[in-house]
Structure 1
Amino acid sequence: MKIKEIIVVEGKDDTAKIKQAVEADTIETNGSAVNDRTIALIKHAKLKRGVIIFTDPDYPGQRIRNIISNAVPGCKHAFLTKAEAKAKHDKGIGIEHATVEAIRLALSNVYELYEGEEIGLSKEDLIHFGLIGGPKAKDRRERLGEILQIGYTNGKQLLKRLSMFDISKQQFVDAMEQILQEENDGD
């Protein structure tokens, strides 16, 4: 599988793992202190070939994703779940720990941020499905992020993330029905 866009990752281990999974070029941020030179390189890459931001599913990875998204609008995004990025024998989480299959799947489900029309979802929809303010809210948000391939987000950011990735009300409802069915099957 060859990727046209340049993939932005956090470090050398991520690059090595990406290259095991797909044929692609990468730009490494070398941690969460994304400097002006790196931002300029990402801007140039976006103009020439497009960019996919593919950072670890943890707080520093999300921080890097936000810094780049704000500085270079219009990038595409790929996500792994924490479970897919968890190291087998230690507590580390990162792209470098994911399987080749998980990386290929994430890169085949790339999202482009979209901040245009209203998606028809409201805070009331989130409350109705128990995504905020309930005992299972965090688990449901995590599962929703997995199903929709948009990554995990807290309750305050969920509506914005759904809108940014142009998730339709029907996609949202279908995913929530799946989650509720899984919960019922588990009881």
Structure 2
Amino acid sequence: MIKEVLVVEGKMDIAAIRKAYPDDPPDCIITGGFTLAKHTLDDIEKASKRRGIIILTDPDGAGERIRKFLAKRFPEAKHAFVPREDATANDDVGIEQASPEAIRSALAKVRTAHIDVKETFQSADMVRWRLSGADSAAERRARLGAALGIGYANAKTFLLRLNHYGVTREEFDEGIRAL
């Protein structure tokens, strides 16, 4: 059972989540895209204070912009990421395209951004493990991000997520071995 309220982009996302949790679907709030009306932000704020929120936006540019905006406004929010390859069908990318298994997997790997950031990972780690500067870097970041539950990102954002979402050296090393 998910006690937090999921923040998603649209009605079809909720339908996909209900397929993933048919017996006990979590409560959701729809952003309606990046417009984020005042009443929607008020609803998200109330949910955040009462039960907590999990941001589950699409793994595309618009979804990332919404996530960044909400993360700034609600720093205590949790984050779930469905990998892009698991959220793509019919030339469309979004949570509504994800399988129930992909949604459950993402919500099983929820991360919280830490205010007291530990600089566990450096740019040198990114280069050493071919996550930056290598021909296969984007693919390796996508696979490692899915395994760690921090999603796909460019090298700079990926490094920030490693340090901000509490990824341990042990988790990182295990993910690298699996690559």
Q: Contact 1:7/1:54 (CA < 8 Å) preserved in 2? A: yes
In 2, distance between residues paired with 1:71 and 1:176?
33
CA apart distance, 1:73: 1.2
User: Are the aligned partners of 1:4 and 1:24 in contact in 2 as well (CA < 8 Å)?
Assistant: yes
Q: Which amino acid aligns with 1:16?
A: A
The change in CA–CA distance for 1:132 and 1:98 in structure 2 (over 3 A counts) is same
Other-structure match for 1:184: none
Residue identity opposite 1:113 in structure 2: A
Distance 1:117 1:14 in 2: 31
User: Deviation at 1:97?
Assistant: 1.2
Q: In structure 2, what is the Cα distance between the partners aligned to 1:9 and 1:96?
A: 10
Distance 1:177 1:27, change over 3 A: same
3-state SS of 1:32 partner: helix
Tell me the residue number matched to 2:83: 81
Q: Counterpart in 2 of 1:18?
A: 17
Give yes or no for the alignment of 1:118 onto 2:128: no
Deviation, 1:57, is: 0.7
Structure 1 runs (4+) deviating above 4 angstroms are none
- Which protein is bigger by CA-based radius of gyration? 1
Residue type of the alignment partner of 1:118: K
Partner-residue secondary structure (3-state), 2:85: coil
Aligned-pair distance for 1:13? 0.5
Query: Which residue of structure 1 aligns with residue 161 of structure 2?
Result: 161
What is the Cα deviation at residue 8 of structure 1?
Answer: 0.4
Amino acid at match of 1:155: A
Q: Which residue of 2 aligns with 1:185?
A: none
Normalised TM-score (structure 2): 0.93
Identity of aligned residues (%): 39
Candidates 15, 21, 40, aligned match of 1:38: 40
Task: Decide whether the 8 Å contact of 1:119 with 1:166 is kept in 2.
Answer: no
Q: Which residue of structure 2 lines up, in the alignment, with residue 70 of structure 1?
A: 72
Equivalent pairs counted in the alignment come to 176
Gaps of 5+ in 1: 180-187
CA RMSD in angstroms, aligned pairs only: 1.3
CA distance, structure 1, for counterparts of residue 72 and residue 99 of structure 2: 29
User: Offset at 1:117?
Assistant: 4.1
Partner of 2:137: 137
Q: CA deviation at 1:46?
A: 0.6
TM-score (norm 1): 0.89
**Match for 1:166: what amino acid?**
G
